[in-house]
A and B are shown apart, each in its own frame.
Chain A
Amino acid sequence: MTNRIFVALCLLPLAVFSMAFLALPIVRLVQASGESAEGWGIYLQILQTPRYLQTLLQTVLVSFAVALTALAISTTAGLFLARNRFPGRGALLSILTLPLAFPGVVIGFLIILLGGRQGLFNTLLPGHVVFAYSLTGLFLGYLYFSIPRVLLTVMAATEKLDPSLEEAARTLGASPWRIVVDVILPGLAPSLVAAGAIAFATAMGAFGTAFTLATDIDVLPMVIYTEFTLSANIAMASALSVVLGLATWILLLVARSFAGTTVAAGG
């Protein structure tokens, strides 16, 4: 059928592009990771080298903390904004979703303006509070770009909740608190899992923020970067990239089986 040929033609540019610039490069990356003296043992080496292991652990912990905090904050704010109408709500919503497309470098800079040596806190408080270049700064930076994403997911999910469920609970005499626990949170759960996973995965792979801030914090993307550019340890950089990519991809795949939407990633 001619239409079948037309549809195949429509798919052709995509197939060519993703073959040349996605499939083949990934194959090459995996290949390159096994080209050092250790061969494929390099993946074992990651687990045996304290520096890499510690980096891995630290990255996971920071990302996990970011995901949890972003969920707590964004669910609170998201439910509030979705359920209440008041003057200034639109402006508030704009502010909260603004950082959606800020690259990580800019967010790093904004954190420096807050908690750097010449930052807001250090100027206002006499105690000389500098947190930008530490793990705290990194955590806040990641939080900065995670909040809008989680918030949008929560608000979209809230709008899809069936309001009659809440009304039913109310007619049955449930208190507002019970309604949140028994009706709203279970209804939001799939979206919250998905949003949390996105926040986690994005934090795991965030490079720009770490690049601007982390002069001496070992997080996975920074270690990959230094292995590649400074140490020229290409096999190790590739192996760590494969580990990082696989981890975030599998995590998002699992999370998506809980709920469907992916909010614009960036960072």
Chain B
Amino acid sequence: MHMTMPRVLQLAVTLLTAAFLIVPAIQSVLAGLTVNYFRGISSGLTLKWLGQVWELYAGSIALSMWLAVTCLAVTLVIGVPAAYALAKSPGRMSRVLEEFISLPLAVPGLALALALLQLYGSMQGFRTSWLFILVGHVLYTLPFMVRSVLAVLMAMDLRSLEESAATLGASSWTRFRTVVVPNAMPGILAGALTVVTLSIGEFNLTWMLHTPYLKTLPVGLADSYASMRLEIASAYTLVFFVMIVPLLMAMQWATDRAQRITR
């Protein structure tokens, strides 16, 4: 690479930015594995903190995983058929509906949570169940699923494919099952990974919707940041990284793949 002055500057900015993003993450990983963070690595490495995190927060981690899986199931059931219907009806009403369900992308989670709380807060059975948090997660992740699938459906020649399946004798449901869904798979996969990744990391809505008995992983994180020693908070953050980073990478891989189709 030929190094000119502007290029050196660009590289410097890039490297500094990368350092800004990665250094605290590394610190956190190290802190979670160090016997005493204030004395430094020299105090030795340990898995003690991770063990304590497990004791304290195993329930939160399990709840987050359960929420992510159910959230994925719900967004699949609602989102994939909806994306298909939106792709089939290119009218103004569809665009308005698409815009409307995308509101949670623009409107802060805090505001949505307040809205949900005020309408359903008095329904005790619902308010205190995990389903209430699930609703928040679905609300927030659904637009990602719909848009991801919709983009792939719009990029392929859906009309001809469906028409040819119809001339071959396939009913609406058969066409949806055998032609639409398999060909939308890259979009569904990208959407699914996005939904799971975002659900596991969701905090804004969850913090408002959760109850003391239903703490998700990020809620537990906030809790540990406020009340635990730094090593435990770090170890817990490390657990979160271990869960989220592979998901994030898979999500980016799948999104890139889906976007290559839509281009």
Chain B residues lying within 8 Å of A248, measured Cβ to Cβ, are: 106-108
Interface of A is mostly: helix
- Contact call B21/A21, Cβ cutoff below 8 A: no
Of the candidates B108, B118, B237, B248, the one whose C-beta lies within 8 Å of that of A32 is B118
Binary interface encoding of chain A residues 25-39 relative to chain B, with 1 for a CB under 8 A from any of its CBs, else 0: 110110010000000
User: Shortest Cβ distance from B34 into chain A, in angstroms?
Assistant: 12
Do residues A244 and B108 form an inter-chain contact, with CB atoms below 8 A? yes
- 9 interchain residue pairs of minimum CB distance: A205-B108, A25-B115, A10-B81, A6-B172, A241-B111, A110-B24, A14-B82, A29-B115, A80-B10
Q: List 13 A-B contacts (CB under 8 A).
A: A14-B142, A25-B116, A81-B14, A100-B248, A101-B244, A103-B204, A156-B259, A201-B106, A205-B107, A205-B110, A207-B203, A249-B103, A249-B107
A14 close to B146 (CB less than 8 A): yes
A98 touches B245 (CB 8 A): yes
Q: Is A228 in contact with chain B by the CB < 8 A criterion?
A: yes
Q: Using Cβ atoms and an 8 Å threshold, which residues of chain A touch B88?
A: 7
Closest to A151 in B: B17
* B65 close to chain A: CB less than 8 A: no
Q: Interface on A for B, CB 8 Å cutoff?
A: 2-3, 6-11, 13-15, 17-18, 21-26, 28-29, 32, 73-74, 76-77, 79-81, 84-86, 92, 94-106, 108-114, 118, 120, 140, 144, 147-148, 156, 176-177, 201, 204-208, 211-212, 221, 224-225, 228, 234, 237-238, 241-242, 244-245, 248-249, 251-253, 262, 264-267
Identify which of B18, B84, B259 gathers the most chain A CB atoms within 10 Å of its CB: B18
Query: In the assembled complex, which residues on chain A have CB atoms less than 8 Å from the CB atom of B18?
Result: 92, 95-96
B108 touches A221 (CB 8 A): yes
**B 204-237 to A, binary, CB cutoff 8 A, 1 in contact else 0:** 1001000000000010011001000010011001
One of B6, B112, B251 near A101 (C-beta < 8 A): B251
Inter-chain contact B78/A14, CB cutoff 8 Å: yes
Asked if B237 and A147 make an inter-chain contact with CB atoms under 8 angstroms apart, the answer reads: no
- Does B172 contact A13, Cβ atoms closer than 8 Å? no
Return A125 CB to nearest CB of chain B, in Å.
14
Residues in B with CB closer than 8 Å to A8 are 85
- Report yes or no: A103 in contact with B218, Cβ–Cβ below 8 A: yes
Asked if B79 is at the interface (CB within 8 A of a chain A CB), the reply is: yes
Known: A241-B111, A249-B107. Contact between A108 and B225, CB under 8 A?
yes
Report how far A101 CA is from B173 CA in the complex, Å: 36
Which residue of the partner chain, among B28, B103, B115, B222, contacts A208 with CB atoms under 8 Å? B222
Render B101-135 as a binary contact track against A, CB cut-off 8 A, 1 for contact. Answer: 11111111111101110111000000000000001
Report if B240 contacts A (CB, 8 A).
yes
B14 close to A92 (CB less than 8 A):
yes
* Nearest CB of chain A from residue B39's CB, rounded to whole Å: 11
Contacts of A22 in B (CB 8 A): 100-101, 103-104, 112, 139
Taking CB as reference atom, which chain B residue is nearest A237?
A: B114
Give the shortest distance, in Å, between A31 (CB) and chain B (any CB).
8
Q: Mark B226-263, 1 if CB is under 8 A from A, else 0.
A: 00001001100100100011011101100000010000
Complexed CA–CA distance, A56 and B218 (Å): 27
Give the distance in Å from the alpha carbon of A77 to the alpha carbon of B7 in the complex: 10
Contacts of B119 in A (CB 8 A): 24-25, 28
With an 8 A cutoff between CB atoms, is B198 at the interface?
A: yes
Of all chain A residues, which has the CB nearest B259? A156
Q: Is the CB of B23 within 8 A of A10?
A: no
Q: Bound state CA distance, A52 and B116, in angstroms?
A: 24
B residues less than 8 Å from A251 (CB atoms) = 106
CA distance A111 to B105 in the complex (A): 25
- Say whether A11 contacts B24, CB under 8 Å: no
Shortest Cβ distance from residue A78 to the other chain B in the assembled complex, whole angstroms = 9
Q: In the bound complex, do residue A26 and residue B25 qualify as a contact, i.e. CB atoms below 8 Å apart? A: no
B residues less than 8 Å from A101 (CB atoms): 197-198, 201, 244, 247-248, 251
A144, B28: Cα distance in complex, Å: 15
